[in-house]
Amino acid sequence: MIDHFDDKLLKFIYLLTREQSYLNSIDASSHLSKFKFRVTDRTIRRWINFLKTKGFQYFPSPKYDSLGLDYSVVILFGVRDEKIFDIIPYDMYIDKVMSFSRYEHAFVGYYTIPFGNEGRFSKFWKRAKELGIIDDYILMNSKAATFLFSPFHKIIKNGIITFDEITEKDNEYFIRLLEKNINYIPAKEIHPAVRKNPFLVPVMLEYYRKHISSIGVWREIKRKLGNKVWTNYLDKFNKNPTDGRGVFAVQQILRQLKNNPDFVQQIRVIYDMVYTAHNISMVYVYMKLKHLEDVVSLTRKLSKSAVHMNISLPKDNSQKEVLIYIVTNNKHIVNIMGTCLEFARSKPQVFINDFNYSKKFWTEERFGLDYPKLFDPLSCKWRYNHNAYMKKLEKLAH
């Protein structure tokens, strides 16, 4: 019987995040040996099968701007009707939170919006406020979040979170990623490789938040697209469509994506058992910095009190605003607040995640994007029906 907080298992999960590529069991065994952690591919397969039963997800974090999508984060106050989240079908992640600053519930929503629609997206929330569906909102046009993972095996001991053993060196890999992402300029046009082969889109989206084989990816794509997978994506195989050819096409895409920084920002893991720790807290901090570059020093300090962090940077660096999500323990919340105040240009807004309530929004439909309805492979454009969304908003208000 494997203990879900076993040190070796936690170290294995952590080291998976220290590699740009999505690894199979053989590749993972080779990767781990670089850290003097020797595990056979057979053991890795056994661990993965066990982890899947405990809410484990291991996947490449896409750069959606390469697929023609911008990032936006919206913080909503005084939401009268949660059906508002069902209107725009580009919400990837919704959390219900409690605002320390305003002493009221709020929601944090992460969206990917088709290029050229940021203005209309902003008008949607402005109109929602005018109609009284929400009291107020903060809208942040952002880059893809940078994810930082602390060594799980050092900070989770028998289901208790402690940061006594963590050092700055432990997180330097992710600090370097953050430094790189500060200077990253998001794409303004869909990537030429997608125009050449739109099949990149369903393959990438099927890998998001999943540990899945190429055969599994093909089955999901075929189930969702039906015969359109041949007529709209794989027309060269249309005369003789077979599952073997479909799997081959998926594997071709995966070879193209491997070690390709144009499409994959980093590798992520989610392990639900972390959130069962007895003293865990999940905190959002929205703040404006004196200098955007300060986010590096800020993250270094905060990471000493973090199981993991998500750092959303502004799309336009002149905005100097960041949204940081920190998984920590109860003891370190005060330290985190003090550190944020040290770097803030104005008073930060702090939120505690209502984890149990938020889980109702964490569905595959939201995480994966409904590409059969939203993406047109012939024009390589995403459908964004602003007028329809506004009509639904008006209807919701009455």
Residues of the chain short of pLDDT 70, as ranges, are: 1, 211
Say what the pLDDT of residue 102 is. Answer: 83
Say what the pLDDT of residue 248 is. Answer: 93
Model pTM? 0.92
Judge contact between 257 and 264, C-beta under 8 A. Answer: yes
CA distance 303 to 324: 11
Say what the pLDDT of residue 380 is. Answer: 95
Domain ranges of the chain: 1-54
Structural Rg of the chain based on CA atoms: 21
How is residue 169 written in tokens?
């060196």
Say what the pLDDT of residue 142 is. Answer: 95
Q: Please, what sign has the CA dihedral across residues 99, 359, 13, 2?
A: positive
CA distance 206 to 364: 10
CA distance 143 to 317: 10
- For 1-34, give one letter per residue: b (16+ CB within 10 A) or e: eeebbeeebbbbbbbbbbbebbbebeebbebbee
Judge contact between 138 and 74, C-beta under 8 A. Answer: yes
The values of phi and psi at residue 124, to 5°, are -60, -45
Q: Please count the other Cβ atoms lying within 10 Å of the Cβ belonging to residue 270.
A: 15
CA distance 255 to 54: 29
Say what the pLDDT of residue 1 is. Answer: 65
CA distance 161 to 306: 10
